[in-house]
């Protein structure tokens, strides 16, 4: 590879959207040297950004590294294999001995040096960095507004991996948002471990409100989506602001409750231990049309049948638009891992299946009510199976984690926001048609 040849990089981002943002920053740090590789065989560098939040994520990350290492072992020239992410933060030096196939380890704590480290490993220099390079397609982009977390949930290892809350300045985020919109993004998805905590470490009052106001002034932006609003931050004051002063914010909120029974929430060390019904009521009193999604943990140590029955009834009564359910994993280094009364794996998996079965019925009923209505659809990508069919999302469908809307029509393009008639619904997906102009 000559010194001025484009650097062809193939990226694999595992885990949460925050990892994808880190990957995109690294690509931006390569400046004009970067070119996307279509596959591993055509790459000069393969970058794997790992997840290590829970045991299955660790296993997936290690397996992905081994598979890629095997796939590139016989290539000539062989691409450089670089690995970063939470796996590196969690296990550090131990990985070097266990995974000698990796050429370059990029610690999370040295993100500002990733580009330089990569240049050194390749024996070349890069012509100056630039803003993030968007990899999610032309319609939507994640905006990581803070790093780390100040909460002390007893099952979670994130503060150990990512450190305390570190909010990014408003001005920096607005500049980045403008760059993402220039690359085609119509929607910004604000992500953090807890977006409602934004700005507290900077001494800001109403930090999230101030950020939303500033982002709403970015030309060309249609939607702002908030992911991971911790229940303690879902206040009447915030909700009234979103209702009255933030028209770009879609009223679709991810509020990770993790459980519903007060005893289990207290044992989890959640930053709120009050009745979660009140959190839902607060949202629906101010924004009755809001769509809610959540994540739940079943099988936490000490969860009895009565606790699970309470949680299941809560799900049936609240009727979330979307939810995810995870069996509890005893993560080494967390206080919960040493608790007594650990729940058997078979019980945890059965409880997960029961709630997901309930949610399938709830989702199907909610989506049936959309039939015959006209809704805005953010067009994301062509469907590979039909020439005029595209995949997109309506306002209550978050990217990558929720269902999609299959939309058809003439002259559609990825990145458009179109009015479409909802003609059919499935368990988690919608089918829509853009009417022909008369």
CATH number at residue 410: 2.40.50.140
Give 87-105 pLDDT, tens digit per residue. Answer: 999 998 788 889 999 999 9
* Three-point CA angle 337, 340, 345, nearest 5°: 70
- The stretch 408-414 carries a mean pLDDT of 90
The arithmetic mean of pLDDT across residues 350-358, rounded, is 98
Q: Are residues 360 and 385 in the same domain?
A: no
Least confident stretch, 105-114, 244-253, 269-278, 368-377: 269-278
Does the residue 131 lie in any domain?
Answer: no
**Is residue 196 domain-resident?**
yes
Q: pTM for this structure?
A: 0.94
Compute the Cα dihedral for 38, 42, 48, 49 and give only its sign. negative
**81 and 156 assigned to the same domain:** no
Asked which of 335, 368, 401 is the last residue of a domain, the reply is 368
Q: What is the mean pLDDT of the chain?
A: 93
Residues 44 and 110 in one domain: yes
Listed residue (266, 304, 262, 300) closest to 152, CA to CA: 266
Which residue among 318, 350, 368 closes a domain?
Answer: 368
Looking at 155-284, which runs of residues are DSSP E strands?
166-167, 187-191, 223-226, 249-254
Q: How far is CA 182 from CA 36, 133, 175, 185, 220, in A?
A: 19, 11, 11, 7, 8
Same-domain status, 178 and 300: yes
Average of pLDDT values for 237-253? Answer: 97
Least-confidence region, from 50-64, 111-125, 161-175? 111-125
Write down the pLDDT at residue 273. Answer: 63
Is the same domain home to 253 and 360?
Answer: yes
How does pLDDT run across 363-398, given as a tens digit for each residue? 999 999 999 999 999 999 998 888 889 999 999 999
Residue 372: is it exposed, middle or buried by C-beta count within 10 angstroms (0-12/13-18/19+)?
Answer: exposed
Of the CA atoms within 13 Å of residue 141, those in its CB half-sphere come to 28
Q: What is the predicted pLDDT for the residue at 295?
A: 96
In the listed set 338, 368, 398, which residue is the last one of a domain according to the structure? 368
- The runs of H, that is alpha helices, within 185-275 are 207-216, 236-245, 262-268
Burial (CB < 10 A; 0-12, 13-18, 19+), residue 437, is exposed
Same domain, 159 and 180: yes
Q: Do 227 and 171 sit in the same domain of this protein?
A: yes
Q: Structural domain tally of the chain?
A: 3
Residue 429 resides in a domain:
yes
Per-residue model confidence (pLDDT) at position 130 = 66
Contact 390, 414 (CB under 8 A): yes
Nearest Cα to 223, choosing from 182, 185, 268? 185
Report residue 58: phi and psi, to 5°. Answer: -60, -45
**Same domain flag for 105 and 205:** no
At 109 the pLDDT is 85
Q: Which of 113-122, 159-168, 240-249, 266-275 has the lowest mean pLDDT?
A: 266-275
pLDDT confidence of residue 173: 97
pLDDT tens per residue across span 119-155 = 899 988 877 666 788 888 789 999 999 999 999 899 9
Instruction: Classify the C-alpha dihedral 177-182-183-188 as positive or negative.
Output: positive
Domain hosting residue 55, numbered range: 7-122
Together in a domain, 329 and 228: yes
pLDDT at 3 over 60: no
82 domain-assigned: yes
Question: Which helix or strand (DSSP H or E) is residue 310 part of?
Answer: helix 305-318
Given a cut of 60, whether residue 414 has pLDDT beyond it is yes
Q: Please give the pLDDT value at position 216.
A: 97
Pairing mode, strands 430-433 and 417-425: antiparallel
Residue 231 has what pLDDT? 92
Binding residues: 16, 51, 86, 149, 153, 156
Any domain includes 133 = no
At residue 156, the pLDDT reads 93
Question: Band of the pLDDT at 438, cuts 50, 70, 90?
Answer: low
Q: What CATH number has the domain bearing residue 154?
A: 3.80.30.20
Angle at Cα 170 formed by Cα 167 and Cα 173, nearest 5°?
90
Percent of the chain clearing pLDDT 90 (strictly above) = 81
Same domain, 364 and 387: no
Domain assignment of residue 360, yes or no: yes
Q: Same domain for 179 and 307?
A: yes
Residue 82's domain is classified under what CATH number? 3.40.50.12160
Residue 177 belongs to a domain: yes
Task: Express each pLDDT in 270-307 by its tens digit.
Answer: 887 678 999 999 999 999 999 999 999 999 999 999 99
Partner residues linked to 323 by β-bridges: 294
Residue 2 lies in a domain: no
Query: Confidence class of residue 199 from pLDDT cuts 50, 70 and 90?
Result: very high
Residues 112 and 183 in one domain: no
Q: Which residues are annotated as a binding site for [4Fe-4S] cluster?
A: 16, 51, 86, 149, 153, 156
User: Is 120 in a helix, a strand, or coil?
Assistant: helix
């Amino acid at each position: 590879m000559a010194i001025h040849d484009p650097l062809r990089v193939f990226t694999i981002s595992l885990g949460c959207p925050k990892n994808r943002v880190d990957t995109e920053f690294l690509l931006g740090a390569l400046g004009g040297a970067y070119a996307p590789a279509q596959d591993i065989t055509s790459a000069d560098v393969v970058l794997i950004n790992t997840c290590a939040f829970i045991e299955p994520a660790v296993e997936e990350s290690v397996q992905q590294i081994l598979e890629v290492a095997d796939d590139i072992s016989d290539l000539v020239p062989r691409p450089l294999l670089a690995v970063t992410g939470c796996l590196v933060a969690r296990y550090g030096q131990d990985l070097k001995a266990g995974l000698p196939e990796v050429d370059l380890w990029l610690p999370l704590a040295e993100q500002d040096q990733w580009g330089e480290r990569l240049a050194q490993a390749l024996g070349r220099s890069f012509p100056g960095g630039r803003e993030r390079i968007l990899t999610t397609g032309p319609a939507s982009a994640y905006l990581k507004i803070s790093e780390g977390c100040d909460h002390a949930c007893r099952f979670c290892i994130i503060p150990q991996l990512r450190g305390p809350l570190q909010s990014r300045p408003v001005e920096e985020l607005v500049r980045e948002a403008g760059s993402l919109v220039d690359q085609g993004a119509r929607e910004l998805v604000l992500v953090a471990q807890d977006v409602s905590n934004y700005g507290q470490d900077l001494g800001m009052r109403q930090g999230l409100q101030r950020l939303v106001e500033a982002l709403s002034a970015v030309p060309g932006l249609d939607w702002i989506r908030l992911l991971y609003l911790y229940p303690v931050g879902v206040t009447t004051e915030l909700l009234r602001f979103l209702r009255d002063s933030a028209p770009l914010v879609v009223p679709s909120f991810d509020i990770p409750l993790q459980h519903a029974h007060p005893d289990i929430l207290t044992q989890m060390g959640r930053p709120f231990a009050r009745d979660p019904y009140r959190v839902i009521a607060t949202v629906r009193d101010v924004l009755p049309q809001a769509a809610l999604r959540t994540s739940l943990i079943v099988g936490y140590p000490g969860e009895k049948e009565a606790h699970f029955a309470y949680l299941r009834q809560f799900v049936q009564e609240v009727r979330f638009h979307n939810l995810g359910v995870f069996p509890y994993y005893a993560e080494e280094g967390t206080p919960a891992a040493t608790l007594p009364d650990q729940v058997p794996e078979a019980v945890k998996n059965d409880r997960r299946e029961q709630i997901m079965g309930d949610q399938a019925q709830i989702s199907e009923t909610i989506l049936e009510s959309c039939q015959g209505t006209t809704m805005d659809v953010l067009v994301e990508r062509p469907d590979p199976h039909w020439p005029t069919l595209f995949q997109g999302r309506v306002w209550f469908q978050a990217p990558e984690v929720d269902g999609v809307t299959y939309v058809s029509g003439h002259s559609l393009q990825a990145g458009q926001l179109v009015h479409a008639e909802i003609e059919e619904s499935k368990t988690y997906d919608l089918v829509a048609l853009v009417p022909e102009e008369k």
